[in-house]
Structure 1
Amino acid sequence: MKDTHTILNEIIVAAKECGQVMLQADRNNFGIKDKAGKANFVTAYDCKIQEMLQIKLAQILPEAEFLGEEEDCRINREAEYIFVVDPIDGTTNFIKDYHMSCVSIGLIRNGKRYLGVVHNPYLDETFSAISGEGAYMNGNAIHVSSDDLENGVVLFGSSPYNTELAKASFELAYEYFQKCLDIRRSGSAALDLCSIASGRAELYFELILSPWDFAAGALIVEEAGGIVTTVEGDTLLCLEKSSVLARNK
């Protein structure tokens, strides 16, 4: 089998190729479809990029299972390796040309976060981590901020697909707003997690996310010296829907 750094580098190449597809998208021909939940869309490009990744990742690590957002993937949860992929995290941003969307690729090994890549083609920023080896952005080491909450920025997601959580999300955001410098809402969980990892913000929360939203970003935060749990403070599982809280120490 290839060594881990070779696998990582090949995944980064694949993520960047998919990022180019996002940049070159025909904005007049998105093929937008609704999914379950408020403002939950899928475009032809989500599906195209997921298909690309399914092929490319199978070439990189043939023994790995593949769990992607845009189809009902039936996987062997006991497999040694499982790719957990969001082809476009921030699809509404992508549709609106808001430039806060990314390709997110996590690799689970024996039930634990093992490798993560998040690529934002609009800023040409690629975040990556291997378990136990630190976190990087475009090859340079990154670390969480050392600022406390009073001098920090809080990021949050409003769980838009689960409208029953909207009020609680904004109430919690208001609580944090009173304790920090300011709050932000980007529309991409993966990029928010990378913002925590790179010290651009101090805390991020969302009351429910799917595994592909945080598979890569959670590892990148942890390897940058941060802490990732559920909002309740419990262990963040790899393959289950969950609330997420990421912060510096």
Structure 2
Amino acid sequence: MDIHLLERLKDIVRSAGTTVRSAQDAAMGIREKSSHVDLVTLYDPMVQEFLRSRLMTLLPEAGFLGEEDATHDIAGRRQLFIVDPIDGTMNFIRGLHHSSISVALAVDGVVTHAVVYNPYYDEMFSAQRGKGAWLNGQRLHVTQHAVHDSLVLFGSAIYYRDTIPETLRFVEALLPNCLDFRRGGSAALDCCYVAAGRADLFFECRLCPWDYAAGGLIVTEAGGIATQLDGSPLALTQRGSVAMGNAVNHPELLAIARRIREGGDA
């Protein structure tokens, strides 16, 4: 595989970011997908099709798993792009400038390259398996804080209302025993912030793979741990939960998750 592949992926994603950053009418052309909180703008498919065109030129034999596809033709593909064209669509619509473009490349079911880009601040998070994680050329490292000293990022899995009780139990268990909570609205950026040491822990009870596939590699290449809440590997072609942290707080979070899911006191 091309040793310059990661740089080529970054160039493609940065070009796509121009469309996101320059959008002046993000609130126009909004339509609902699964519910009134699951929205898509005119820009989501536009950015995705740009990424598809450029990425498939780069690796024509690869499959493509994107958020805005109704169906996914990925069976039998050794290489697979996993893409979220605008992660944090509600933030994008509201002009909060906390959205990202997320691209992961998996080979034989293992993510090998990852790029997450916040075009508003020109922050390019990237990783290559075995080569480390980086932000604009600076090496990333997770913290080593326990839960007690952790700033916790979380997602509310708002598209999946059945997860609300479980999410609230996590908040109830963690909030009195950590530094504080933040809810940013872009899971891909939450992962990267853990990798960069801006926060210490991230969890969400249900996400799609395009939300975390790239971020998961960036966290692990920064010395962290990325799994589902039951400790199993992250799912790359179906929905799953997410738990990302360091060698100290990640096991603590999994222990809390186990108690919650067993119905005991967290």
Please tell me the TM-score bracket, short chain as reference. over 0.9
Q: Show CA shifts across 1:169-188 (max 9, x none).
A: 12212211111100000001
Q: Residues 86, 54 of structure 1: CA spacing in aligned structure 2 closer, same or farther, 3 A cutoff?
A: same
- Partners of 2:142 and 2:85 in 1: CA distance: 26
Give the equivalent residue in structure 1 for 2:5. Answer: 7
Instruction: Give the gaps of 5 or more residues in structure 1.
Output: none
Structure 1 residue ranges, 4+ long, deviating more than 3 angstroms after superposition: none
Q: Name the residue aligned to 1:39.
A: 37
Quote how far apart the aligned CAs of 1:167 are.
Answer: 2.3
Q: Equivalent of 2:213, from 197, 212, 215? A: 215
Q: 1:13-162 residue pairs with structure 2 within 5 A?
A: 13-27=11-25, 30-162=28-160
Asked whether the 8 Å contact 1:78–1:110 carries over to 2, the reply is no
Change (3 A) 1:123 1:107: same
Question: Quick check: 1:159–1:165 contact (8 Å CA) kept in 2?
Answer: yes
Equivalent pair of 2:27/2:93 in contact (CA under 8 Å):
no
Of all paired residues, the percent bearing the same amino acid is 42
User: Aligned-pair distance for 1:159?
Assistant: 0.4
| CA 56–28 in structure 1, closer or farther in 2 if over 3 Å, else same | closer
CA distance in 1, matches of 2:74, 2:13: 24
Structure 2 CA distance for aligned equivalents of residues 94 and 28 of structure 1: 7
User: Per-residue deviation at 1:137?
Assistant: 0.6
User: Cα deviation per residue 1:125-165 (whole Å; 9 max; x = unaligned)?
Assistant: 00001111110111211010122221110010000101111
Name the CA distance, whole Å, in 2 between partners of 1:134 and 1:154: 23
Equivalent position SS for 1:83:
strand
Q: Extract unaligned runs of 5+ from structure 2.
A: 248-266
CA distance in structure 2 between the partners assigned to 1:72 and 1:169 by the alignment: 28
Q: Is the 8 A contact 1:35 1:42 kept in 2?
A: yes
Distance in 2 (alpha carbons) for counterparts of 1:199 and 1:77? 37
Given that residues 26 and 41 in structure 2 are in contact (C-alpha distance below 8 angstroms), is that contact kept between their aligned partners in structure 1?
Answer: no
Structure 1 distance, partners of 2:153, 2:172, is 12
User: Which piece of structure 1 moves more, 213-222 or 231-240?
Assistant: 231-240
For the 8 Å contact 1:169–1:207, the answer to whether it is kept is: yes
2:65 and 2:74 in contact (8 A); partners too: no
TM-score, structure 1 length as denominator? Answer: 0.96
1:173 maps to: 171
Instruction: Tell me the C-alpha RMSD between the 2 structures.
Output: 1.3
With normalisation by structure 2, the TM-score equals 0.90
Superposed displacement of residue 38, structure 1: 4.5
Q: Which amino acid aligns with 1:188?
A: S
| CA distance in structure 2 between the aligned counterparts of 1:197 and 1:170, rounded to whole angstroms | 25
**Alpha-carbon contact 2:64-2:74 (below 8 Å) kept:** no
